[in-house]
Amino acid sequence: YRPPEFYLNDEFLERCQGLPVLFDHPESGLTDTDEWRQRAIGTLILPYIPEQNNGPHSTDEVWAIARIYDDDAAEMMLNTHISTSPAVEFGKGQKLNYMRTDDGDRMLIEGKPEYLDHLAVVPEGVWDKLHNPRGVAQ
């Protein structure tokens, strides 16, 4: 769960402008110079919050238009890498908080994002809505 007051505001949208778009996440989780050189495929140019629910768009999510510079990555985004996954660090001292849902699943409640590192283009991400995500640690 992401508290909307942390994400659904103009300040957060401004922080997303220019965010690097990477092909898959670095193993370390965050970008360093070598990872940037190996994975950078574009940048976010226009983050926004949809004004109405429309198809996959939801008014409780941040979306963005990205400029993708890598032709091979753009082709893969049409066929295999059809999801995204943000890399976010939370403030020092913030602990991961979990709660149990009514059906017994464990749900992560995220803290306030302190540092936005990148948006990764991935085959299947945590946020996919058409089916349960695979490869995500529970």
Phi-psi region of 123 (alpha: psi -120 to 50; beta: other; left: phi over 0): alpha
Of 53, 57, 56, 27, nearest to 120 (Cα)? 27
Residues 116-128 have pLDDT tens digits of: 999 999 887 655 6
The pairing of beta strand 40-48 with beta strand 113-122: unpaired
Q: What is the mean pLDDT of residues 75-92?
A: 84
Express each pLDDT in 16-67 by its tens digit: 999 999 999 998 889 999 999 999 999 999 999 988 777 667 788 899 999 9
pLDDT digit string (tens) for 98-119? 888 888 888 878 888 889 999 9
Total-model pTM: 0.80
Distance separating alpha carbons of residues 124 and 138, to the nearest angstrom: 15
